[in-house]
Amino acid sequence: MDKIEIMTTLKLAAVSHRAWLSNAQALIDGIPLDKDKVPVSSCDCEFGRWYHGEGQRLKGIPGFKDIEKPHEKLHETYLEIFALLYGEENQKPSLFSKLIGRAQKAATEKREAARAKSLLLKDYSNEVIEKVERLQKVINAMGEKQLSSYLS
């Protein structure tokens, strides 16, 4: 893997991460979307599959390991949001709850709580992107020989 391939791969990883975030935000906003487009696990999203797979070749490069924690926090936060929006308690409200409007109020409150958590989701996402961009700068500053010494 040479520098150009690595830089291209990092750019594509960042693009896939942004697409994941856009899909997550769509679900939070109530836009119908296949839930499988927004994997909950940090190892199942496209970025995570790259990071924990092929990306591990870069693990010796300073800054690579700094990406993992905010990426995991991002998915932990999304799991909390997903549970708020799609947890079992959100399924099939009773007829009585429907009649007195309690189910609608609870759903609205959960959507608002999810939106509040989405701000934290965006913060973690920005941190992931920032760390990927920092890694790109580190790699870009290296010569091919130095870079190849880091690749495992």
Secondary structure of 65-130 as H, E, C letters: HHHHHHHHHHHHHHHHHHHHHHCHHHCCCCHHHHHHCHHHHHHHHHHHHHHHHHHHHHHHHHHHHH
Domain count, the chain: 1
Q: Residue 29 — pLDDT band, cuts 50, 70, 90? A: confident
Spatial CB neighbours of 20, under 8 Å, sequence gap ≥ 6? 38, 39, 45, 46, 47
Taking the C-alpha atoms of residue 106 and residue 72, their distance in angstroms, rounded to an integer, is 29
Return the pLDDT at 123: 95
pTM assigned to the model: 0.81
Among the residue ranges 38-42, 68-72, 111-115, the one predicted with the least confidence is 38-42
Q: Residue 10 — pLDDT band, cuts 50, 70, 90? A: very high
The residue range of the domain holding 131 is 3-150
**Measured between alpha carbons, how far apart are the two ends of the chain, in Å?**
10
Taking the C-alpha atoms of residue 67 and residue 81, their distance in angstroms, rounded to an integer, is 22
Q: Residue 8 — pLDDT band, cuts 50, 70, 90? A: very high
Taking the C-alpha atoms of residue 41 and residue 37, their distance in angstroms, rounded to an integer, is 12
Return the pLDDT at 64: 96
pLDDT at 98 over 90: no
